[in-house]
């Protein structure tokens, strides 16, 4: 990896992090370098996430960062979860999204909306040994998230769910799912309800894993519900209020995707900068040519800009102030920068960058998803436009 001369990009201004946060960041970065990066290429090629890594995520407390200590979690802040996602994604975007979905979506939903009994039952599992997944999307329900067709009917003490979910991240690894279905299609979005579903519930099946362009080690699967029995006590929040849970949780999740894209851009930049110093043409390293210098300088500037956006949005969330606009802007711009930086990294490598023998093509493939999941770029623009033009 880059030598001391290349560390400026990875050295966050100390004024923006406390001593504890700096130590946390360094520990996650060391773990990512020593344990995640060596497995990234093989996991990408096989399309399978190494089970032992998830076990280590739990051991390090990375799967329950905001879960209170009384439930076995780390009792940390949202900001720390974002830093963890960034550092893991710098080594492998699939590792970053495993931790991201667990913390910013599933755990956040449970922390905000679960009742005391549900928290007591599920949060210790989320912090110790059980991965989670967030199941909202369907074949006909993507950006129009509330057009979902999965139906939940109350029969006695159980809800019976029927339908299919699509594009569900962490589905293969997850034991607990926050899943959305409608209890009353005629009520539109007001019929949507969130459920806590365990993988072992009767009638619940994880379907095929998608063969994807990027984040290939991260499982993305279909979920099949055929008369799936879910206890009435597993309604998250209130029946008919699932739309509120979905919207507010995704707002937080978008900051996590911003952090993932920041990590991806950083990783690609570091490889490109190091290669530019090593690759010689016309008797000198290509980093001595102004054209390459300007590209690396522009990339570094944009990476620093998105870092500030990610950190600012995370701080706003922790402070309890409105952050919807900032979250949308963060996800939009971070995904744009990640795609641009990783593409330029390939060009700096030249022909070598276009081969799988070198790491930058993977960063480029991993970056593409940033503009698509947890709200496409057009949906972020729509949100931003609504908020900035309403004043």
Residue 315 Cα distances to 68, 303, 309, angstroms: 19, 18, 10
Where residue 156 falls (left for φ over 0; alpha for ψ -120 to 50; beta otherwise) is left
Helix axes 37-46, 93-100, angle to 10 degrees: 90
Confirm if 163 and 181 have CB atoms less than 8 A apart: yes
Tell me how far apart the alpha carbons of residues 166 and 140 are, in angstroms, rounded to a whole number: 9
Note the pLDDT tens digit of each residue in 93-125. 999 999 999 999 999 999 999 999 999 999 999
Q: Which of 215, 200, 248 is nearest to 99 (CA)?
A: 215
Residue 136 Cα distances to 139, 149, 241, angstroms: 10, 11, 14
Confirm if 370 and 334 have CB atoms less than 8 A apart: yes
Ranges in the chain, pLDDT < 70: 1-15, 391
pLDDT recorded at residue 144: 87
Note the pLDDT tens digit of each residue in 170-228. 999 999 999 999 999 999 999 999 999 999 999 999 999 999 999 999 999 999 999 99
Tell me how far apart the alpha carbons of residues 15 and 224 are, in angstroms, rounded to a whole number: 48
Judged by DSSP in three states, 159 sits in: strand
pLDDT recorded at residue 275: 98
Judged by DSSP in three states, 2 sits in: coil
pLDDT recorded at residue 319: 96
Task: Tell me the domains of the chain and their CATH numbers.
Answer: 4-131 (1.10.540.10), 133-241 (2.40.110.10), 244-389 (1.20.140.10)
Q: Which of 224, 175, 221 is nearest to 204 (CA)?
A: 224
Q: Which of 47, 78, 40, 8 is nearest to 266 (CA)?
A: 8
Furthest-apart CA atoms within the chain: distance in Å:
79
Confirm if 250 and 104 have CB atoms less than 8 A apart: no
pLDDT recorded at residue 391: 66
Show the tokens assigned to 339.
């795609």
Tell me how far apart the alpha carbons of residues 349 and 91 are, in angstroms, rounded to a whole number: 18
Show the tokens assigned to 132.
């989670």
Q: How far apart are the first and last CA of the chain?
A: 47
Indicate the DSSP class of residue 210: P
Residue 356 Cα distances to 323, 346, 353, 364, 365, angstroms: 39, 11, 8, 11, 11
**C-alpha R_g of the chain:** 21
- List all residues 6 or more positions away from 76 whose beta carbon is below 8 Å from its beta carbon: 24, 65, 66
* H or E segment to which residue 268 belongs: helix 242-278
Measured CA angle at 105 (ends 305, 262), to 5 deg: 20
Tell me how far apart the alpha carbons of residues 162 and 104 are, in angstroms, rounded to a whole number: 27
**Residues linked to residue 68 through DSSP beta bridges, in sequence order:** none
Tell me how far apart the alpha carbons of residues 93 and 91 are, in angstroms, rounded to a whole number: 7
Show the tokens assigned to 10.
């990875």
Q: Which residues carry out catalysis? A: 374
Torsion of CA 177, 183, 186, 187, to 10 degrees: -80
């Amino acid at each position: 990896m880059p030598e001391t001369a290349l560390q400026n990009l990875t050295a966050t201004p100390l004024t923006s992090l406390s001593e504890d946060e700096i130590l946390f960041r360094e520990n996650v970065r060391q773990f990512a370098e020593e344990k995640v990066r060596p497995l990234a290429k093989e996991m990408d090629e096989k399309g399978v996430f190494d089970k032992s890594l998830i076990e280590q995520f739990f051991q390090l407390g990375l799967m329950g960062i905001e879960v209170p200590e009384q439930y076995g979690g780390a009792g940390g802040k949202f900001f720390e979860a974002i830093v963890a996602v960034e550092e893991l994604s710098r080594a492998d975007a699939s590792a970053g999204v495993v931790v991201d979905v667990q913390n910013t979506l599933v755990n956040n939903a449970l922390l905000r909306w679960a009742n005391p009994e549900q928290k007591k039952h599920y949060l210790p599992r989320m912090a110790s040994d059980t991965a989670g997944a967030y199941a909202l999307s369907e074949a006909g329900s993507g950006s129009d998230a509330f057009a979902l067709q999965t139906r939940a009917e109350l029969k006695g003490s159980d809800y019976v769910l029927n339908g299919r979910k699509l594009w569900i991240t962490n589905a293969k690894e997850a034991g607990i799912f926050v899943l959305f279905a409608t209890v009353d299609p005629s009520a539109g979005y007001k019929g949507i309800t969130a459920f806590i579903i365990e993988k072992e519930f009767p009638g619940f099946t994880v379907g095929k894993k998608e063969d994807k362009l990027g984040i290939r080690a991260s499982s993305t699967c279909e979920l099949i519900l055929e008369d799936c029995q879910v206890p009435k006590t597993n309604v998250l929040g209130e029946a008919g209020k699932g739309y509120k849970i979905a919207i507010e949780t995704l707002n937080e999740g978008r900051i996590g995707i911003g952090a993932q894209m920041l990590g991806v851009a950083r990783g690609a930049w570091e490889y490109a900068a190091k290669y530019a110093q090593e690759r010689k043409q016309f008797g000198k390293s290509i980093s001595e040519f102004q054209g390459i210098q300007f590209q690396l300088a522009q990339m570094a500037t944009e990476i620093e800009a998105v870092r500030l956006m990610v950190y600012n949005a995370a701080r706003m969330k922790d402070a309890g102030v409105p952050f919807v606009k900032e979250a949308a802007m963060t996800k939009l711009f971070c995904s744009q920068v990640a795609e641009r930086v990783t593409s330029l990294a390939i060009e700096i490598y030249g022909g070598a960058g276009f081969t799988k023998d070198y790491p930058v093509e993977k960063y480029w493939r991993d970056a593409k998803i940033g503009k698509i999941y947890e709200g496409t770029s057009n949906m972020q623009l729509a949100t931003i436009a609504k908020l900035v033009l309403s004043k």
